[in-house]
Chain A
Amino acid sequence: MFESLKNKLNKAVKKITKSVSKKEIEKGKVEENKSGIFSFIKEKTISEDDIEDVLWELQLELLEGDVALEVAEKITESVKKELVGKKVKRSTDIDKYTRNALKNAILEILKTDSNVEDLLKIKKKPFVILFVGVNGTGKTTTIAKLAKYFMEKGLVPVIAAADTFRAGAIEQITKHGEKLGVKVIKHKKGSDPAAVAYDAVNHAKSKNKDVVLIDTAGRMQTNMNLMEEMAKIKRVVNPDFIIFVGDALTGNDAVEQAKMFDEKIGIDGVILTKADADTRGGAAISISYVIGKPILFLGIGQNYDDLIEFKPEWVVKQLFT
Chain B
Amino acid sequence: LGKLGEKLRKSIKKLAKMPIVDEKVVKEVIKDLQRALIQADVNVKLVFKLSKSIEKRALKEEPPKGITPKEHVIKIVYEELTKLLGKKSYKLKIDKKPYKILFVGLQGSGKTTTVAKLAHYLRLKGYNSAVVCTDTWRTAAYDQLKQLTEEINVPMYGDPNEDNPIRLAKEGLNKFKNYDVILFDTAGRHKNEKELLDEMEMLSKEINPDEIILVIDGTIGQQAKSQAKAFSERVKIGSIIVTKLDGSAKGGGALSAVSEVGAPIKFIGTGEKIDDLEEFDPARFMSRLLGMGDI
Contact = CB atoms under 8 A, between A and B. Distances in A.
B44 A251 contact: no
A171 interface: yes
A254 to B, nearest CB: 7
A100 B141 CA distance: 48
B192 interface: yes
B223 A138 contact: no
Interface string B154-167: 00000000000000
B244 to A, nearest CB: 6
Nearest to B142: A168
Contacts of B217: 136, 247, 249-250
A221 B247 contact: yes
A277 B223 contact: yes
B206 interface: no
A134 B244 contact: yes
A223 interface: yes
A65 interface: yes
A251 B222 contact: yes
Contacts of B151: 167
Instruction: Point out which of B221, B250, B253 has the most chain A C-beta atoms below 10 A from its C-beta.
Output: B221
Contacts of A166: 144, 272
Of the four ranges (under 10, 10 to 19, 20 to 34, 35 or more), the interface on chain B belongs to 35 or more
B175 interface: no
Interface string A276-299: 111110110000000000000000
Contacts of B108: 135-138, 247, 274
B222 to A, nearest CB: 5
Contacts of B272: 135, 165-166, 218
Given A166-B144, A276-B192, A220 B246 contact: yes
Given A168-B144, A249-B106, A280 B222 contact: yes
A169 interface: yes
Contacts of B138: 172, 302
Contact of B145 (A167, A253, A302): A167
Contacts of A137: 108
A265 interface: no
A63 interface: yes
B219 A168 contact: no
Interface string A85-102: 000000000000000000
Interface string A114-145: 00000000000000000000111110110000
B252 interface: yes
B114 to A, nearest CB: 11
Of the four ranges (under 10, 10 to 19, 20 to 34, 35 or more), the interface on chain A belongs to 35 or more
A168 B139 CA distance: 9
A69 B223 contact: no
B137 interface: yes
A222 B246 contact: yes
Interface stretch (B8-16, B35-43, B80-88, B281-289): B35-43
Contacts of B148: 167-168
Contacts of A138: 107-108
B236 interface: no
Contact of B219 (A64, A141, A254, A276): A254
Contact of B139 (A64, A176, A279): A176
Contact of A249 (B146, B223, B247): B223
Given A220-B247, A222-B247, A280 B192 contact: no
A140 B248 CA distance: 23
Contacts of B38: 60, 63-64, 69
A138 B107 CA distance: 9
A137 B58 CA distance: 41
22 contacts: A63-B44, A135-B108, A136-B109, A136-B217, A141-B139, A167-B148, A168-B142, A171-B143, A220-B271, A247-B108, A249-B227, A250-B249, A251-B222, A251-B224, A253-B219, A256-B249, A257-B219, A274-B107, A276-B192, A277-B107, A277-B191, A278-B192
Interface of B: 34-35, 38-41, 44-45, 106-110, 112-113, 116, 137-148, 151, 190-192, 217, 219-224, 226-227, 244, 246-250, 252-253, 271-272
**A-B interface, 8 closest residue pairs, ranked by CB to CB distance from nearest:** A251-B221, A168-B144, A136-B108, A172-B140, A251-B41, A167-B147, A171-B143, A171-B140
